[in-house]
Amino acid sequence: MLSESAKRAFSDLELPYPPVAIKFSRNRPQGVQQVEGVDVFCGFLKKAQLENRMFFTTIDNDKCMGKVVLGMTDLETNHGSGQVGFEMGVFRTAAANARLYHEAPMLKRGVCNYVVFCPVSLCGFDPDLVICVAPPETAQLLLRATSYISGDLWESKCSYVMSCAWTYVYPYVSGKVNHLFTGMHFGLQMRQTYPPGLHIITVPYQKLDEVVTALNEMEHVPLGLRSDAEGKERNDEVRARLEALTADIELPIGL
């Protein structure tokens, strides 16, 4: 179950859209209502944020590519051949578009039949993913938390189309944090889901405890960026200590 400490850590980010916990399920989730109606899969994240409620989706609710990348249905040939992307002017050739479907991560058929969306503040389960939509100043804080303990590099792996594969499936199967950018992906652009210039950051379960620990432990403003009186005093102390350490290792050896 997502801890209260984790909930507080994400709440303290004060994001413009609430962070959302995601759970993939083979079996129908108990105690959760199915979402009403039909929508594109990337729209359900924002729905959970705006309505601040938990729900699950199935293949019947999804009218776009989410059901394909989640392994709920097979890729139909107009997309798989690359013909759609070519005809819509997204790719120069059908072959260029078709390549994407051999590169993009997809869950095995039948593994995921239901997807639970739940605002982190309401989450009472162990999420597979936590997804945050953040402006740059908060995104850098969250991404720093992904490397503060481990030293992991920041990576963004994505494609212009089918951003759902990289938002949901890639972090889940790779165990890596991934981040995409609003205004940079075809479906999100077409539907104007979010204003441009935000980061969509997905933290998979493999990194969740580490990120929460880092958010609770590290200084949100690094000492080197502080300009207040206390920060200046501490910076001066650090520089003096580093100079002393440098002088120590530069003493003549063998005396």
203 with 247, same domain: the answer is: no
Beta bridge partners of 201: 132, 179
CA–CA dist 202, 43 (Å, integer): 16
> Which token pair is 152?
């992991």
28 with 127, same domain: the answer is: yes
131 with 234, same domain: the answer is: no
178 with 233, same domain: the answer is: no
188 with 255, same domain: the answer is: no
> Which token pair is 51?
């309505």
- Are 167 and 178 a contacting pair, CB within 8 Å? yes
CA–CA dist 208, 234 (Å, integer): 31
Listing DSSP states for 161-225 in one string gives: S-HHIIIIIHHHHH---EEEETTSSHHHHHHT-S-TT-EEEEEEHHHHHHHHHHHHHS-SS-GGG
212 with 227, same domain: the answer is: no
29 burial class (0-12, 13-18, 19+ CB within 10 angstroms)? middle
209 with 252, same domain: the answer is: no
Which residue type is seen at 188?
Answer: L
CA–CA dist 215, 12 (Å, integer): 9
Integer CA distances (angstroms), 149 to 4, 20, 110, 131, 210, in order = 21, 23, 36, 20, 7
146 with 231, same domain: the answer is: no
DSSP symbol at 89 = T
Q: For residue range 160-204, list pLDDT tens digits in order.
A: 999 999 999 999 999 999 999 999 988 888 888 899 999 999 999
68 with 177, same domain: the answer is: yes
Question: What is the chain's pLDDT, residue by residue, as a tens digit (255 residues)?
Answer: 899 999 999 999 999 999 999 999 999 999 999 999 999 998 999 999 999 999 999 999 999 999 999 999 998 888 889 899 999 999 999 999 999 999 999 999 999 999 999 999 999 999 999 999 999 999 999 999 999 999 999 999 999 999 999 999 999 999 999 999 999 988 888 888 899 999 999 999 999 999 999 999 999 888 888 888 888 889 889 888 888 888 767 666 554
Residues 6+ apart with CB under 8 A from 168: 22, 66, 69, 70, 129, 202
Range of the domain at 74: 4-220
Integer CA distances (angstroms), 85 to 90, 185, 217, 251, in order = 5, 13, 46, 66
